[in-house]
Each structure stands twice: as structure tokens, then as C-alpha cells.
Amino acid sequence: MDLVAALLARKYGATLDELRVLVPGYGTGAPEAVRRAFERDKDELRALGIPIDTAGTPGDAESRYLIRADRFYLPYLGVVTPRGLKTPRRVDRYGYRALASFNFTDDEFALLADAAARVAECGDPTLADDAAHALRKLALDVRPPDLATTPGIALSAPLAAADPAILRSLGDALLARKQVTFTYYGIERDETEQRIVLPYGLSFTSGHWYLHALDPSRGSVRRFRVSRMRRVIVNRRNPGSQDFEIPLDFRLAERAVPVPAWALGDESLVLVEVRFGRENGAVRAARALGTTVRGAPDVTRYRVRRRESFLRWLLGLGGDAVPVSPPEMVRGYRELVERTLAALEVE
């Protein structure tokens, strides 16, 4: 609690040397012993959900540690009722000045309750606990009936759900910046092999959990579906130190986006140009996955790795999209159409 109070009281955070003065428990002892105690306390607080951020290089003497008030405290909530807007009395106290205000209607509270219920069904115990904790906070200001879920709504679970124990191990490795070893089934090669990676982030995309990690053996950042992982082992050597640093240019939000099956894998990249014949919802969604070719507004260019998968995807558009280059993809599409018609015995 002394550490939390010290960090909340300093808008721009504090270095470890400054915390030795601010936190009574750090005032005595050798510098290395204080550092270990601080790292242990920091990890325990983060595990409890307290967002302690690091500004600078972790472990560096000039690094600053801080808790941002707008991430630590619940924002001020206003309830919109037929009689008007009900808002709480703002407390003019340091730490609360950075908080935003949100106004909710009864329908929006019901939507929040439904969203929390769906999160609880995702199979991740940490997410489920966070959602339940958020609702308990809201219940202090909102009538219980307003937080009731809509009956008859359920989440469609993925065919292969991620193991919660594996997710917890990966989360711990990510926070501690520790190397991870696991066996993985690669659908492109149709084989299982051992992988040793450095985890950079976890994302929930298109109904599946993915680990984004540097694979040193391949020299690039890859993404691994967690449901295909087995025998996950986190490096336990040197628990007080980090195995790696996440590059400053890594952006999880840019990688945690749905990727078509035909864009995945290790096959050589081919640029395919497709001409679209008409405009409808399916066509607009398909064109959004590529880039428009300059000077040809009806042609879209795609970066393709799995050729057969891409051609089958085009076939599913029912003739509204036809490849025009390169020649081998044009031939492949025509052959696929002929095989499909022959299988259906259509003249």
C-alpha cells in the first residue's frame, strides 16, 4: 500500500532511488536487496491488476515507475434518467483530477451487462474475473435490474478453445519477459514441432487467442494460435531478470487484426490482381482485404501465400471476382472452376 500511495502521489512517477525515500520499507537495506524487494512487490501488484507502468529501460537507474490515475480509478459515472442526469459529487483531490466522465442510459447499462456476460463465456478466467469486478463497481451507483443480462443470448464457442492454464503461463512469461518453449501444430506444413520464442503480445482475434512472438529460428515475429500449443514451458532461470526486451516499434494493435487464411504460411509471396464485376456487400468486404490498383478502379491487388486457398476464396464470390494476373493464378482459377463444374455435373 505504501508503494501504491507513493506512485499515485507523483504525477510523473518515481525512480527506484526516489522510492527508497518515499516507501518506508525501502529505507534500509543494501541497494540490491531493495531492488529485489521492489521487483517482487511490483510483480505482485501487477498480478492484482494495479497498472504500474515503466518509463524508460526496465532495470535502468533512470527508469521511472508510475500509476496513471485514469487507469487506476473508475471514471465518474453519470446516469441518464427520465428526470435528467444524475452525477456524483466530484472529489477535488489529487489523482481524481485526471479522470474522465461517462454518461450512461439504461439501455447502455444493459449492453454493458451483456458484454460482460459474453466475456465471461470466452474461457479466460482472468477476463471473466475482470468483467465481474467491473460490474460490482457499477452496482454501487446503478440499480441491480439495470445490470440484468438479456435472456436467450449466448456466445458461439470456437471449435478449439485455448487452454486457460496455457494462457496464464503465456501471460506470466509476457509480463516477466521470459523465453517460452512449446510444441506446436503448424497447419501449413501439417506437422508438429518444438518452438522456442520470445513473447511480445497476446491477442483475441476472430474467436481465437494468438501469441505474437519473435521466432529466432526464422528471424521474424510470428503469430501462434494458442489452441495448437502443447507442453508450454516458461524459462525459470534468473527469475529477477528479463530474457529480452520488446522492440519499441512493435505494435500489437497492428498485428492483432483478422488475417485471411490465404495470407498466412511460409510459402513464397505472390501479388495477385483481381477484377470485380459488380458492387455489393460481399464485394466491398473482399476488396477491403487488398489495395486498389492505380488507374484501374475495378482491380484490386492481394498479397497471397496460400494459392489454392485464395482461389477457393475467389470461387466463393460466385463469379463477381476473377483473377487477371499473374498467368499461373489465372490458369489455376480456370482449372478450379472446371473441376468444380465437373464435380457438380453442370454443363
pLDDT digits (tens, 9 = 90+) for 54-92: 887 766 778 888 888 777 776 677 777 677 776 666 655
Place of cell 439501455: 107
User: What is the model's pLDDT at position 52?
Assistant: 86
Find the DSSP H helices in 197-289: 252-255, 281-287
DSSP-derived letter for residue 47 is: H
Q: How many beta carbons lie within 10 A of that of residue 104, not counting itself?
A: 18
pLDDT value for 330: 95
Alpha helix ranges (H) inside 48-183: 69-72, 106-120, 125-138, 164-176
- d(C-alpha 288, C-alpha 167), whole Å: 32
* pLDDT of res. 196: 95
Q: Is 24 helix (H, G, I), strand (E, B) or coil?
A: helix
User: At a CB cut-off of 8 Å and minimum separation 6, what does 176 contact?
Assistant: 43, 234, 239, 242
Question: What is the pLDDT at residue 178?
Answer: 95
CATH number of 164-250: 2.30.30
Buried b / exposed e over 148-160, threshold 16 CB at 10 Å, is: ebeeeeeeeeeee
Evaluate if residue 287 carries a pLDDT over 80.
yes
Instruction: State whether the Cα torsion 185-187-189-190 is positive or negative.
Output: positive
Q: What is the pLDDT of residue 291?
A: 92
pLDDT attached to residue 283: 87
Average pLDDT value for residue range 250-256: 86
Question: 322 pairs with which residues across the strands?
Answer: 275
pLDDT range class, residue 302, cuts 50, 70, 90: very high
Residue with cell 465481474: 132
Report the C-alpha gap between 55 and 113 in whole angstroms.
35
Please report the pLDDT score of residue 121 as a whole number: 78
Question: Where is pLDDT greater, at 146 or 326?
Answer: 326
**Cell numbers at 319, concatenated:** 463469379
203-237 pLDDT per residue, tens: 988 778 999 999 998 888 998 999 999 999 999 98
Alpha-carbon distance of 134 to 125, in angstroms, equals 14
Give the mean pLDDT of 123-145.
77
- The stretch 173-183 carries a mean pLDDT of 94
